[in-house]
Amino acid sequence: MNIANIKKTGLAATYKGAEILRQYFGKLTGVMKKGAIDLVTEADLEAEKAIIEVLHSAFPEHSILAEESGLNHKNSENQWIIDPLDGTTNFAHELGIFAVSIAFSYQNEIIHGFVLNPVSGELFTAEKGQGAMLNGKSMSVSSTEKISEALLVTGFPYNHPEIIDTIMARFGRCISASQGVRRLGSAALDLCYVARGRFDGFWEQNLKPWDTAAGMLIVEEAGGRVTDFSGNPYNIYQKEILATNMNIHQEMMNLMKY
């Protein structure tokens, strides 16, 4: 595996996806529904197609897991995990909080993450063991010590009616314990903002692998901690994610108990 080539191609695919999202932003002609409130647009589909073309032409033998087209399994130890547009609801409402999120895994371990907001131009990247960067500059999580001084962020899954009690209980406890809770609408950016120290902690239930694959590595490489709500190591197929600056992790785990 040629790491430099993986990085170069991952970045090229991320920028290609972002270019397409920018072309469609504010100019959507139709918004379709995958579920009652789960939207998909021509921007999601076109960006995903273009990203896959870039990756596939460089690495035709790699597996690809992408939100809109599913798994293209190639019996390979190398896999790309793609969310072409994280924050579709924001995008459809012309709110500029959304991102392309691409991760690369080798033997099921995420080793590269790329998250780009096409509106702000912020590019968050990480490579396993090499730290996390914002637009090429090293970044780290906040040094906030206590939850009472923490700004938190969360999100609500599309199937929230089924689990609304657990969501609201945790939301209420976090509001009471912290300086505030935000809901931005892009899990990939939520994670990157924890990595950059803008938020001290993030939690959400029922996210999908493509929502968290790049962001979780970016948080860990920025010095943060990512687990499930009980403190077990997080993997991208889990239903619970808790990502913090490390210092407030135990306090947040206490707030997640149900």
What is the C-alpha to C-alpha distance for residues 229 and 187, in angstroms, rounded to an integer?
A: 16
Residue 45's contacts (CB-CB under 8 Å, 6 or more residues apart) are 68, 84
* Run of H or E residues at 170: helix 164-177
In the bound complex, what is the minimum distance in angstroms from residue 74's beta carbon to ligand IPD?
Answer: 24
> Please, which residue, 204 or 211, has the CB nearer to Ca ion?
211
Q: Which residue of this chain has its Cβ atom nearest to Ca ion in the complex?
A: 86
* 157: partner contacted, choices Ca ion, ligand IPD, none (Cβ within 5-8 A by kind): ligand IPD
Q: Are strands 99-106 and 109-116 parallel, antiparallel or unpaired?
A: antiparallel
What is the C-alpha to C-alpha distance for residues 243 and 73, in angstroms, rounded to an integer?
A: 29
For residue 204, state whether it binds Ca ion (rule: CB under 5 A): no
* 200: partner contacted, choices ligand IPD, Ca ion, none (Cβ within 5-8 A by kind): none
For residue 211, state whether it binds Ca ion (rule: CB under 5 A): yes
Greatest alpha-carbon pair distance for the chain in Å reads 50
Tell me how many residues contact Ca ion (CB under 5 A): 5
What is the C-alpha to C-alpha distance for residues 226 and 50, in angstroms, rounded to an integer?
A: 31
Site string for Ca ion, 77-116 (x = CB under 5 A): ------x-xx------------------------------
> Please, which residue, 155 or 224, has the CB nearer to ligand IPD?
155
The residues of the shown chain that bind Ca ion, judged by CB under 5 A, are 67, 83, 85-86, 211
